[in-house]
Each structure stands twice: as C-alpha cells, then as structure tokens.
Amino acid sequence: MNRTFSIIKPDATKRNITGAINKIIEENNLVIIAQKRIKLSKDIAEGFYAIHKDKSFFNDLIEYMTSGPVIVQVLEGENAVEKYRGIMGATNPENAEDGTIRKLFALNIQENSVHGSDSDTNSKIEINYFFDENEIINN
Ligand code: CMP
C-alpha cells in the first residue's frame, strides 16, 4: 500500500462534480483516507506549484487555482501514484484516454479537474504540505 496526493480543482467544485470524481477514485480501489475542502491563498498556491514558476502558464494557473474551492485528498492503494495517474488521464484532456477523469470532465489543459502526484517522493512532500499525519485516517 502507498499514498498519493490529489486535488479536485476549482472547475470541478464549481460544477458540483466532486462526488462523481470520488466515485471513479473509489471504483478503482483507491481509498480516500483524508479529504478537506479549502480555498487556496495565492501564497499557498504559489508554494505548491513552485516547480512551475518559470512556465508561461504560471500566473494563469495561480489565478485559476485560487478562483474557487478545491478538495485536497490523500488516496491510498496499491501503486497509488501510478494508479491515480492512470485514472486521471493525460494533463491535456484532448490526449486523455476514454473513461479517465480528465477525458470525462476536464474543460481544457488548465481547467483539467484534478491534480495527482507524479512520484512517491513528491506525494510525500505534497501530502505534508496540506495535511498533518493525525488528519489521515486509514483504519
Ligand atoms: P497539474 O497536473 O496540476 O500540474 C500543473 C498544472 O498547470 C496542470 O495540471 C494544469 O492545470 C496547468 N497547466 C496549464 N497549462 C499547462 C500546460 N501547457 N502544460 C502543463 N500544465 C498546464
């Protein structure tokens, strides 16, 4: 068992489809062992996406990620990082496979409904950025 970090993004909370996304997560045997609905501040969003700070899309990304509530989550399961990336589909929904969250729900490459960690190292960093260990309940 291992863990990954997920964000259900503002385009999804605005359309009230967080339950539909969680249903897909759970149907694929990932367990939501922590979850909270929050509004990201500019500082928190910039810190989270610091790796992208030199990218052309950075300012738009921060504006979008602070435009409405998000759901931050910890998911647990076998090969959770890889499994969730498969369930999410490609960053750009035009390239995402049928049945993936982004193919089903994403609006475009920015408003792509979900974020998931890209490695075990980053999942630990991202989980620690938003959660205390005592907020994570897996049994
Ligand atoms: P995410 O997986 O959260 O990682 C970075 C985010 O930046 C990405 O999803 C999108 O929401 C956003 N983004 C906007 N434009 C691009 C782009 N051209 N390439 C990658 N990510 C982009």
pLDDT, tens only, 45-104: 999 999 999 999 999 999 999 999 999 999 999 999 999 999 999 999 999 999 999 999
Q: Which is the closest atom of ligand 1 to the Cα of 114?
A: 3
CA distance 29 to 33: 12
User: How far is it, in rounded angstroms, from Cα 130 to Cα 92?
Assistant: 25
Output the pLDDT for position 64.
98
End-to-end CA gap in the chain = 13
Cα 94 to the center of its chain, rounded Å: 18
Whole-prediction pTM? 0.98
Tell the residue number behind the tokens 């475009």, with chain if given: 108
Ligand 1 nearest-atom number relative to CA 118:
2
3-state DSSP assignment of residue 131:
coil
